[in-house]
């Protein structure tokens, strides 16, 4: 088995302080170490790699890293807040065959700037439109939460207008600075959000939330909507993909999920394929992948493929196998 994809947080530095940010705190790899890692990721041959951070455009050598992936023939996506882009940089990134995913967590200036503290809505829209005009805008990403869920449909319209291929809606995980519950949708708000997304909206949408399918099934919406067939982030199996992809922290620690407080080793000490082999033979991951280990509502749930978000569950309950506290069907 190869990873569904590799997600590398290339730096912990960022020019914004978003309300919901999970944060990353570790010293980034040197250019030499980072280029070695590019080679290792290419060698592992996942279907694609996503680079984020922190803000990946804070790295002075980001174009060299992207060029390394390009030369290796790797499908590469850069996840960015979009604020540091300009026409020249967009041209260089797109000439390397890399596509951008720009995070815009609000369809109005007020909501966006309230969440993405330090960013300017008009500037980001201009930059996103420039990417769209070059055919380099893979997706707009929006984390769905209390302050912005009413803007899901306007966001879909905005993404179309900007020239994006997809809109990715991401489920909230515990933020670093702000209380999780203050941003978490109520069960009814989840239902309202998911049914808005599940309709044919004239653009591919993908929901990065394991209980999306269970909830829309409960609402009587079809599983065969266009929104379920696509997705840059892997939805193979439809549920939580803990340990089936790799997340690499800025300092090279390799984790089974962006949000998991555990590491399978550092790329400073081991080759990436060795770490992947260790992951694949891990008893802990085998337990995580086994639906019969689930407790509570997740344990008795009919949607076995969902599994609930394991990292969020652990962060909120201290137990890897409990019910996902965010799930509207489990509350
Ligand atoms: C950590 S950011 C790094 C890349 C870049 N700085 C950006 O904002 O797009 C990557 C993605 O994770 C999302 N994200 C950050 N904190 C999150 C959280 N607590 N729950 C879910 N997604 C989160 C961001 O909104 C963004 O789309
Ligand atoms: S979400 Fe992205 S842009 Fe916002 S603070 Fe976090 S790393 Fe920075
Ligand atoms: S109760 Fe658990 S398994 Fe069932 S839909 Fe919710 S998160 Fe998924």
Distances (CA, A) of 181 to 195, 316, 325: 22, 10, 10
**Ligand 3, atom 3, residue with closest C-alpha:** 298
CA of residue 191 to ligand 2 center, whole Å: 27
pLDDT-derived band at 322, boundaries 50, 70, 90: very high
CA of residue 222 to ligand 3 center, whole Å: 18
Give per-residue pLDDT as tens, 134-161. 999 999 999 999 999 999 999 999 999 9
Closest CA to 257 of 239, 274, 273, 271: 239
**Ligand 1, atom 14, residue with closest C-alpha:** 21
Please give the number of the atom of ligand 3 that sits closest to the Cα of 304: 3
Residue 236 has pLDDT above 50, yes or no: no
Strands (E), the chain: 6-9, 49-52, 76-80, 99-103, 137-144, 166-171, 204-208, 246-248, 254-255
Whether the Cβ atoms of residue 137 and residue 99 lie closer than 8 Å to each other: yes
**Ligand 2, atom 1, residue with closest C-alpha:** 21
User: How far apart are the C-alpha atoms of 81 and 115, rounded to whole Å?
Assistant: 12
Mean pLDDT calculated for residue range 234-263: 88
Q: Which-ligand-closest: CA of 214?
A: 3
pLDDT-derived band at 296, boundaries 50, 70, 90: very high
Pocket of ligand 2 (CB under 6 A): 14, 16-18, 21, 53-55, 81
Predicted local distance difference test score (pLDDT) of residue 222: 62
Q: Which-ligand-closest: CA of 179?
A: 1
- The alpha-helical segments, DSSP class H, found in 135-292 are 152-162, 180-183, 187-198, 212-218, 272-280, 283-289
Predicted local distance difference test score (pLDDT) of residue 229: 46
Which residues, in sequence order, are bridge partners of residue 45?
none
- Best probe residue, ligand 3, of 219, 297, 300, 311 (max atoms within 8 Å of C-beta): 297
Residue 46 has pLDDT above 90, yes or no: yes
Please give the number of the atom of ligand 1 that sits closest to the Cα of 14: 6
Q: How many CB atoms lie within 10 A of CB 3?
A: 23
| Pocket flag, ligand 1, residue 80 (CB < 6 Å) | yes
Residue 213 has pLDDT above 90, yes or no: no
Which residues, in sequence order, are bridge partners of residue 175?
none
Instruction: Check residues 234 and 246 and name the one with the higher pLDDT.
Output: 246
Lowest mean pLDDT among 32-41, 199-208, 251-260: 199-208
pLDDT-derived band at 24, boundaries 50, 70, 90: confident
């Amino acid at each position: 088995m190869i990873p569904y994809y590799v997600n590398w947080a290339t730096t912990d530095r960022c020019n914004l302080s978003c309300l919901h940010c999970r944060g990353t705190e570790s010293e980034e790899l040197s250019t030499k170490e980072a280029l070695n890692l590019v080679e290792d990721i290419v060698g592992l041959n996942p279907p694609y790699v996503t680079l984020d951070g922190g803000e990946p455009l804070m790295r002075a050598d980001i174009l060299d890293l992207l060029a390394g992936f390009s030369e290796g023939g790797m499908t590469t996506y850069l996840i960015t807040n979009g604020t540091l882009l300009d026409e020249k940089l967009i041209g260089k990134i797109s000439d390397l065959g890399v596509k951008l995913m720009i995070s815009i967590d609000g369809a109005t200036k007020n909501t966006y700037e309230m969440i993405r503290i330090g960013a300017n809505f008009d500037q980001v829209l201009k930059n996103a439109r420039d990417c769209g005009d070059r055919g380099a805008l893979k997706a707009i990403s929006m984390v769905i939460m209390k302050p912005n869920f009413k803007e899901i449909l306007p966001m879909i319209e905005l993404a179309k207008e900007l020239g994006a291929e997809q809109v990715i809606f991401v489920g909230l995980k515990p933020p670093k600075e702000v209380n999780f519950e203050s941003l978490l949708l109520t069960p009814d708000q989840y239902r309202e959000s998911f049914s808005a997304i599940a309709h044919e909206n004239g653009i591919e949408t993908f929901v990065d939330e394991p209980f999306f399918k269970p909830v829309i099934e409960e609402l009587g919406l079809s599983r065969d909507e266009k929104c379920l067939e696509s997705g840059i982030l892997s939805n193979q199996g439809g549920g939580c993909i803990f340990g089936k992809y790799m997340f690499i922290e800025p300092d090279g620690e390799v984790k089974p999920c962006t949000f998991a407080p555990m590491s399978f080793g550092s790329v400073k000490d081991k080759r990436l394929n060795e770490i992947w082999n260790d992951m694949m033979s891990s008893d802990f991951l085998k337990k995580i992948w086994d639906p019969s280990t689930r407790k509570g509502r997740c344990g008795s749930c009919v949607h076995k493929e969902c599994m609930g978000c394991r990292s969020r569950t652990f962060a909120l309950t201290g137990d890897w196998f409990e019910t996902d506290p965010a799930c509207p069907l489990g509350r």
